[in-house]
Amino acid sequence: DQQVKQNSPSLSVQEGRISILNCDYTNSMFDYFLWYKKYPAEGPTFLISISSIKDKNEDGRFTVFLNKSAKHLSLHIVPSQPGDSAVYFCAATDAQGGSEKLVFGKGTKLTVNP
Partner 1 sequence: KAGVTQTPRYLIKTRGQQVTLSCSPISGHRSVSWYQQTPGQGLQFLFEYFSETQRNKGNFPGRFSGRQFSNSRSEMNVSTLELGDSALYLCASSFGSGHYGYTFGSGTRLTVV
Which phi and psi angles does 75 have, rounded to 5°? -115, 125
User: Burial code of 10-35, b = ≥16 C-beta within 10 A, e = fewer?
Assistant: ebebeeeeebbbbbbbeeeebebbbb
Shortest Å distance, C-beta 2 to partner 1: 8
Nearest distance from C-beta of residue 66 to partner 1, angstroms = 13
Question: 73: which residues sit within 8 A by CB, 6+ positions away?
Answer: 22, 23, 25, 33, 50, 64, 65, 66, 67, 90
CB of 67 to partner 1, least distance (A): 19
Nearer to partner 1, 97 or 114 (CB): 97
Q: In the bound complex, what is the minimum distance in angstroms from residue 100's beta carbon to partner 1?
A: 5
The residues binding partner 1 (CB under 8 A) are 31-32, 34, 36, 41-46, 49, 51, 89, 91, 93, 97-107
Q: Say how many residues make up the chain.
A: 114
